[in-house]
Chains A and B, each alone.
Chain A
Amino acid sequence: MTRHAISVSVNGAPRTATVDARLSLLDCLRGEWGLTGTHAGCEHGVCGACTVLLDGEPVRSCLLLAVQAAGARVTTIEGLAPAEDLHPVQQGFWECHGLQCGFCTPGMVLTAVDLLARVPDPSEAEIRAALAGNLCMCTGYENIVRAVRWAAARAREARA
């Protein structure tokens, strides 16, 4: 098994590790760097619980190898907002009861952050389509859709 030294910018801070080639980015974030906010829901690319932003794009960290992230910028849920703050999307999830067990939440929030970065004022259909790659087993999605709308409205007010 070959070992590889990698360095990745995670949430704005440089991180290094020496990893097996087969280690997933998900396991590297969780096991090597203690960032356990990124979750394993299926480890086969369907549920989206492991979503992180890689150079600003949402990716499934269970389907990427850690070595593929070498040199990249990774944002995990822990890095979305400064310590005691909540990102407007996180705040929206709180206000609208967009989480129950919370296991899907980090992936959902990051997917929604990406949507709002691309489409600041999404329709309900656009929100549902954007979230369709993330499974939530608890909420029935209704309040997650409301949460994304809440965040979009908050951003609208900020722009006005």
Chain B
Amino acid sequence: MSDHAAPTGWVGRPLKRLEDPRFLRGRATYIDDLALPGLLHVAMLRSPHAHARIQRLDASAAAALPGVAAVLTGEDVARAMPPLRPLIPIPNPPRTYPLAVGRVRYVGEPLAAVAACDRATAEDAVELIRAEYERLPAVVDPERALAPDAPVLFEEMGSNVLWHDTFVYGDVDGAFAAARHVVRERFTIHRYVSTALETFGVIAQVEPGTGLVTIWSNDQRPGLTSGVVAAALGVPQNRLRLLALDIGGGFGNKRKAPYLILAALLARATGRPVKYVEDRRENLAALAHAANGVMEAALALDGDGRFLAIALRDVVDEGANLQNPTLHSLLKLGNIVNCYRIGAVRFEAYSVLTTKCPSGANRGIGKPAMCFAIERLVDLAARRLGRDPADLRLANFIQPSELPWETPVGASYDSGDFPETLRRALALADYEGLRAAQAAARREGRLLGIGIAAAIEPGTSNLSSYMLATGTGGTSGVGEAALVRVELDGSVRVATGNVASGQGYPTVVAQIVADELGVTPPDVVVSPWFDSHENPWMFSSGSFSNKFSGTDTGAIVGAARAVRDKILALAAHLLEAAPADLELRDGAAAVRGAPDRRVTLAQVASVAYRDLLALPPGAAGGLEARYYYVHPAATRPDAARRVGVQLTFSNSAHVVAVELDRATGALRFLAYAIAHDCGREINPLLVEGMVHGSTAHGIGATLLEEFVYDDEGQLLTTTFLDYLKPTALDVPPFRVAALESPTPRTALGAKGVGEGGAIPSLAAIANAVEDALAPLGVTLPRLPLTPERLWEAIRRA
């Protein structure tokens, strides 16, 4: 572990982003900026009810409206495609489609789609569709949904339970029996989502001659989506060209194959290109929510305050999500022991359907809730034992000398210094000073609290972990692909299977390749956009699970080194030297120690592509390589069901001080300190931006954001006026310290940082609020900790 090491090349430098000027000038191309001749616009009829039988759906008046080119209902779609295939096998799988057939199961579920000459006309037409419903009872609460007499969403399934399983690692019963202390708590996890500022969108075009289907979208997992869409449309993947342009934020939510399919079906039906872009209401009601649920957690401790075992019963409310349930559960399982030396684990997981928006991936998926549960338990234990919460954590951390450390569930922690990370955050916040200020404030009757949370931030999901839920293979490991090409004039071009949505990949990739090829980052153009018929890609291609540092770096370095070897071989031939005596620098290959014996990349490329008879006899031309990197640490679950759900492990500690206003319940941050370690930082400027942004997501989730459903399943928060996002006034200034413990498990020693602060911030702030409320003897309200809830709590005292 060290602070930033002095970089020797471009990697490690806080380079400002190469791609920024076009964004700053308003010249980016997001999906809604793309216009095609003859483009039709889509609007959808969406369910006003949580659960209802569709009695009648008459779209004839809509279809007759001038300007309307096509209307599709669920029945039409069901005739045009096979049912959507869930990613995990479910017994008696229900047949579902991009539009509801027969029944609606959440407010906002689409039933019909209209394509018209412009959006306003399409929306007018939607209002002309006659829909009659027979309402059915809603099921909103996930524990109620488990009851045998609960209304069932899919009768063919027989119940609302998508998945139920119990995992036991180590002697949990023994540990709890021997424990001196057991702290238990039931945590209600609320629904929220990151809400990228750009909503989801798609444009589809079908070329009648070749049958080529071209789809532009801001889907952030093209590798996965391509197969789903091709299967639904009945076209082979060599006839489906999937593209992504600039993406206005992703955070996991930007994935919706059903909308891509629907747009393509409308394009087929009309023979014209078709665009659908969600409005914000549709986005909040129907794209995806981070799952809510109930976590009943218990931590066993011995007489010295050492953590012995953790047990969790976890009910995950998937809403009406049949596509990828179990996601939240598996990621919680992988992260359950956090930074602690805990020897035994029991995890009972339920994935349950309710009549709410489908759950989906959202920055950290399940890990914010998992970290919240364990870090709240640790604070409750500290209070019970009369220990300082920092000391109790320090006494239970896995020590740097113990790494690599295999947790009971099979995660293998690679690098880091958890105690030092916390000490750095404490110092940054002036923990001693804050405690003194707190004592003084309490004497005046003021409510000042200090909260701590420590977190593991895993990265790079091992897709084999799905086997824990599915029991079947077919998808395993994780990887990414890259292409590096030196063009005829010596300029360098790179493309990968990933899509950028603000992470700065074009800059970071250029830094990596510049080092490998001896050029500067501006010499390297990284394709900002994805094209499935141009970019190299594989199933796991795309932006998810903090995987850039884990897999993309490996692919980029792999491809760049292969090109480097070609350059060296060719240059050695031209210079009549041995490849081993050459080095690449300043855009040329030169003999070490004899700098005027050199050939530029342009000269080498000229031979590779044009002056072909100057190639060594029999040698292939070209200066290009593709590399399909497979992460070497991924395994399948073993017989004891141990598996690395994720493969790299960053860590962080947040120390937060807040003051609550007794009269209003308003919360004010006095300090927000973050120490984090994501291994080698390829670009510290961008890393720190990720830390800020992810922490702000956690602050929003903790203090403001909640999707509220009433008992009838009506969603009450459908605009940014009632689904509140944090503004510049809600987010405090951050103090950030970076540690760097390079991991041996990735190509450059870097680890994930995208989820970052979204994981520990909920717990840190909640712990601070509880500490502030402690003199009043009231318990912490559930999240989000709105002024109203805090005021109620203060008033109850």
A61 touches B (CB below 8 Å): no
Q: List 26 A-B contacts (CB under 8 A).
A: A23-B120, A37-B26, A39-B248, A41-B197, A41-B280, A44-B280, A78-B27, A80-B25, A93-B20, A94-B16, A99-B20, A99-B502, A101-B197, A101-B248, A105-B23, A106-B26, A127-B728, A133-B727, A135-B720, A137-B693, A140-B695, A141-B727, A141-B731, A142-B731, A142-B734, A145-B728
B692 touches A (CB below 8 Å): yes
Q: Which 4 A/B pairs are nearest by Cβ-Cβ distance?
A: A37-B26, A101-B502, A103-B248, A102-B23
Q: A132-B727, A140-B734 are in contact. Are A44 and B720 (CB under 8 A)?
A: yes
Report whether A86 and B25 are in contact in the complex, using a CB–CB cutoff of 8 Å: yes
Q: A36-B26, A140-B695 are in contact. Are A101 and B247 (CB under 8 A)?
A: yes
Q: Which of B244-281 contact A (CB under 8 A)?
A: 246-251, 279-280
Q: A101-B247, A105-B23, A141-B731 are in contact. Are A40 and B196 (CB under 8 A)?
A: no
Q: A20-B120, A37-B26, A137-B195 are in contact. Are A128 and B502 (CB under 8 A)?
A: no
Residues of A within 8 A of B (CB): 20, 22-23, 30, 34-44, 46-47, 49, 76-78, 80-81, 86, 90, 93-95, 97, 99-106, 109, 124, 127-129, 131-145
Among the 9-residue stretches B28-36, B55-63, B318-326, the one with 4 or more Cβ atoms under 8 Å from chain A is: B28-36
Residues from chain B with Cβ under 8 Å of A94 in the complex = 16-17, 20-21, 24
B729 touches A (CB below 8 Å): yes
Residues from chain A with Cβ under 8 Å of B702 in the complex = none
Report whether A129 and B26 are in contact in the complex, using a CB–CB cutoff of 8 Å: no
- Of A47, A49, A77, A104, the residue contacting B25 (CB under 8 A) is A77
Report whether B249 and A137 are in contact in the complex, using a CB–CB cutoff of 8 Å: yes
Residues of B within 8 A of A (CB): 16-17, 20-21, 23-30, 32-33, 35, 120, 194-198, 246-251, 279-280, 501-504, 685-686, 688-689, 692-697, 719-721, 725, 727-729, 731, 733-734, 757
Q: A36-B26, A78-B25, A90-B25 are in contact. Are A137 and B194 (CB under 8 A)?
A: yes
In the bound assembly, the distance between CA atoms of A131 and B339 in angstroms comes to 37
Report whether B502 and A102 are in contact in the complex, using a CB–CB cutoff of 8 Å: yes
Report whether A102 and B693 are in contact in the complex, using a CB–CB cutoff of 8 Å: no
Residues from chain B with Cβ under 8 Å of A103 in the complex = 30, 196-198, 248-249
A-B contact number at CB 8 A: 166
Report whether B24 and A137 are in contact in the complex, using a CB–CB cutoff of 8 Å: no
Residues from chain B with Cβ under 8 Å of A100 in the complex = 249, 502-504, 689, 693
CB distance from B16 to the nearest CB of A (A): 6
In the bound assembly, the distance between CA atoms of A124 and B725 in angstroms comes to 20
- Of A81, A90, A128, the residue contacting B729 (CB under 8 A) is A128
Report whether B248 and A40 are in contact in the complex, using a CB–CB cutoff of 8 Å: no
Report whether A97 and B686 are in contact in the complex, using a CB–CB cutoff of 8 Å: yes
Residues from chain B with Cβ under 8 Å of A127 in the complex = 728
Report whether A141 and B26 are in contact in the complex, using a CB–CB cutoff of 8 Å: no
In the bound assembly, the distance between CA atoms of A77 and B729 in angstroms comes to 24
Residues from chain A with Cβ under 8 Å of B32 in the complex = 30, 36, 40
Residues from chain A with Cβ under 8 Å of B725 in the complex = 135, 137
CB distance from B528 to the nearest CB of A (A): 11
- Of B20, B24, B249, the residue contacting A138 (CB under 8 A) is B249
Report whether A38 and B26 are in contact in the complex, using a CB–CB cutoff of 8 Å: yes
Q: A94-B21, A142-B734 are in contact. Are A102 and B689 (CB under 8 A)?
A: no
Residues from chain B with Cβ under 8 Å of A106 in the complex = 26
Residues from chain B with Cβ under 8 Å of A124 in the complex = 733
Q: Name the residue in B35, B251, B689 with the highest tally of chain A Cβ atoms < 10 Å from its Cβ.
A: B689
Q: Name the residue in B120, B686, B693, B697 with the highest tally of chain A Cβ atoms < 10 Å from its Cβ.
A: B693
Report whether B24 and A36 are in contact in the complex, using a CB–CB cutoff of 8 Å: no
CB distance from A83 to the nearest CB of B (A): 9
CB distance from B39 to the nearest CB of A (A): 10
In the bound assembly, the distance between CA atoms of A86 and B22 in angstroms comes to 10
In the bound assembly, the distance between CA atoms of A110 and B138 in angstroms comes to 45
Given A99-B23, A129-B729, A139-B696, 17 extra CB contacts under 8 A: A22-B120, A36-B30, A36-B33, A39-B30, A46-B719, A46-B721, A49-B197, A94-B17, A97-B686, A97-B688, A97-B689, A103-B198, A138-B197, A140-B694, A140-B731, A141-B731, A144-B728
Residues from chain A with Cβ under 8 Å of B20 in the complex = 93-94, 99, 102
Report whether A137 and B196 are in contact in the complex, using a CB–CB cutoff of 8 Å: yes
Report whether B16 and A95 are in contact in the complex, using a CB–CB cutoff of 8 Å: yes
CB distance from A63 to the nearest CB of B (A): 13
